Structure formats: C-alpha cells, structure tokens
Amino acid sequence: MNYGEKMLRDGALEGKTIVITGGGSGLGKAMTKYFMELGAQVAITSRDLEKLKTTTIQLEEETGGKCLPIQCDVRHYDQVEQLLAQVLEHYGHVDVLLNNAAGNFISPTERLSANAFDTIIDIVLKGTKNCTLAFGKHWIAQKQTNCNVLNIVTTYAWTGSGYVVPSATAKAGVLALTRSLAVEWAKYGIRMNAIAPGPFPTKGAWDRLLPGDLAAQFDMAKKVPLKRVGDHQELANLAAYLVSDFSAYINGEVVTIDGGEWLQGAGQFNVLEKIPQEMWDMLEALIKSKGSK
C-alpha cells in the first residue's frame, strides 16, 4: 500500500453525474479520471474547448468511462446556465458539482492593477458562486436530494498569505460560502464541503506561479513537515470520498490535505518576502511572456 494507490472500491460512484469546472488539466483532470474509474459519468468545463476535447478522448480511452466536454466561462452566469442545460440534456440529471476552476499569480499587491485583482476574484469567487447558485436552484426546484457541492479552497483562505492576496481573498469567500450553505441548504438534501490542498505541483499552474528556476529556489517540499509534496491520486482519493455516499454525514467540513504545511508556517507564499525588487521585475516579465503564448 502506498499513497499513490486508489482508495475506493470499484463502482463507488456508479450512477452519479459529476460536473467539474477546470477539469481539463492538472488536479481537475486527476480527479475527473478517478471519478470515471469509479463509474461516474462526468462533464468537464473550462474556456479551452480544444484542451477539454483532448482530455476527454484520453480519459475515455484510459477508463472506458463517459466524459462530456463543455466550453464555459464560469465568470458569466448565462454561460453557467447553458452548461447546466447541456449536462441535463446529455445525461438527464446531475448529482455533484465540483468547483475547481481557479486562477492565481504571485505579485506584490501594490504592483497589481485593479483589473488583475478582479480577474482572480471573478474566476474563483464569482465563478464558484455562479455555478453553486445555478446548480443549487435546479436541485431545489426539482426537489432532488442526495446532491452535493465540493469546493477546492486553500489553507491560506483562513490564514491569509502575502503575494497571492487576490487568491486568498477569493478563496476566503468560497470558504464562507461553503460553510454558510452547508447549514442553509441541508434541508434540501444538499451537502457542501471543501478541500484545502497544500502543494500539489502541476506543470501549468506552477510554471505560472514560479517560472524559471524559482521553483527550485523556493522548494515547497521543504516547508512541509512530511518533506514532500502531494501526489495527485491522494487528492483524487479524498475528493472521490467526499462526493460519494460514504461521506453522507459530512457537511460543512473543510478537509486540509497538506502534510502539515500550514501548521508549520501560515501563508504558503509569505517566504517570497525574500525576493528583491529586481527579481520581481524579472519575474513579472517571465509571467507576462508565458501569459502571451
């Protein structure tokens, strides 16, 4: 047995339809694959339809499961409503929403434009709100029970963290949304939970956050008491459990999976205080060059 092995029994998610925002790559893709392996039919969504289609083909071949790619910008409520309508038309019902779509970049806050700040707020907080509201209204109107929403937050949602202030602000809002609706919507048979991951490196996200040789200079594994970063299957195992019926009595919980990192030093990116101004100039140029590709 090791931490990269699959946890739940075969068929644990049989009969469930799960919608995953940001499901085309990184951690979203890892969770999508495991849900399909466990028998769920899934819909993945992001703004990049071609990436979604590529992921769908790959995962259907690897798992033998069903995956529906749908283009959607979660910042726009009308697009979220269209997403829901397409899922219902294709699968007939939906049982689980996993709000995974996110955006982030590191920067001293005074260097950020108002628009840059808003971009992260809109994707993370507004996007989560849009999806949760649309799906929740549907479930309530249909009197459909045994539904649940799983949100991906972060440990600095409750501690705060310098240099990722828009993300910390947005994730704190998502955390409050999770806990508030866990109480308010429980009477409708809707559960609300969240996962707060520590370092789970993905190439795309971490290349944007720590481009060049910064990843080596600021080795996140050194900040974790277990002295390693997370394996994607570990997060997928936890997510699968929380959206399954095995967790039917868990509601309003935020599960931290970070190897003890936040207990050792709150604020995942506070270490960036050590970066001199000239390096910030270089970093900003690197981030902009990656964003323009």
- Positions marked active-site: 156
Residues 6+ apart with CB under 8 A from 207: 290
Give the integer Cα–Cα distance in Å for 201 and 181.
30
Q: List the Cα angle 66/245/88 in 5-degree steps.
A: 40
Measured at the CA of 49, the angle between CA 46 and CA 51, to 5 degrees, comes to 90
d(Cα 68, Cα 72) in Å, to the nearest integer? 12
CA distance 82 to 70: 10
Quick count: other Cβ atoms within 10 Å of Cβ 155? 22
